[in-house]
Amino acid sequence: MDYNLDLKADSRLLRNNSTLSEVLLWKKLRAGSMMGFKFNRQKPLGNYIVDFYCKPLNLIIEIDRSSHDNKYEKDCYRQKELEKLGFTVLRFTDLQVKKDMNNVIRGIEIWVNENKKNPPNPLFKGE
C-alpha cells in the first residue's frame, strides 16, 4: 500500500509523542504479543496515519480520544475510505483502553480469531 510521503515525518512525530492510551495498548500489541501478529503504530496508509496496523490481517485499530469528539463526520469519512481499500477498522475509546484493557484486548482477540484464516484482501475488496 502506497502512502503520502509527506506523512512520514508526521507519523514519526506522533510515535514520539504518544498518548497514554496509545502507550498502554502498544505494550499489548508490540513484538508479536497479539497472537503472534506484528503491529505497527502510527502507520501511514494512503493519505492517513492510523494508530495501529497489522498488515497480515489488514487490520487497523484506532483509539478515539476527546479530540475526536467534534470530528465524528470526518472520522466516518476516513474510516469508509480505508474500508474501501479493504481494511477493517476497530475503534476503541481512550477511556476503554485506560479503564477496561482486558475487554479491549478480548475484542481484538475475538476479531483476530474470526478473521485470521481469511483476512480481507485490500487489493480486491471495494473494487
Query: Is 97 contained in some domain?
Result: yes
Q: Is the dihedral of CA 63, 67, 70, 71 positive or negative?
A: negative
Mean pLDDT value across residues 97-123: 87
| Pick from 8, 93, 92, 90: nearest CA to 45 | 8
Q: What is the mean pLDDT of the chain?
A: 88
Query: Is 124 contained in some domain?
Result: no
Task: Say what percent of the chain tops pLDDT 90.
Answer: 66
Query: How many domains are there within the chain?
Result: 1
Query: Is 18 contained in some domain?
Result: yes
CATH of the domain at 97: 3.40.960.10
Q: How confident is the model at residue 119 (pLDDT cuts 50, 70, 90)?
A: low
Range of the domain at 12: 7-115
Distance CA 17, CA 124 (A): 35
pLDDT at 44: 94
Query: Is 91 contained in some domain?
Result: yes
pLDDT at 8: 86
Residue 38, burial from CB neighbour count under 10 angstroms (0-12, 13-18, 19+): middle
Query: Is 69 contained in some domain?
Result: yes
pLDDT at 55: 95
SS3 label, residue 1: coil
Please report the beta strands in the chain, taking only residues with DSSP state E, as ranges in sequence order.
40-45, 48-54, 59-64, 88-93
pLDDT at 68: 46
Question: pTM of the prediction?
Answer: 0.84
pLDDT tens track for 50-98: 999 999 999 999 999 865 456 788 889 999 999 999 999 999 999 999 9
Quick one: cell of 99? 479503564
Query: Is 125 contained in some domain?
Result: no
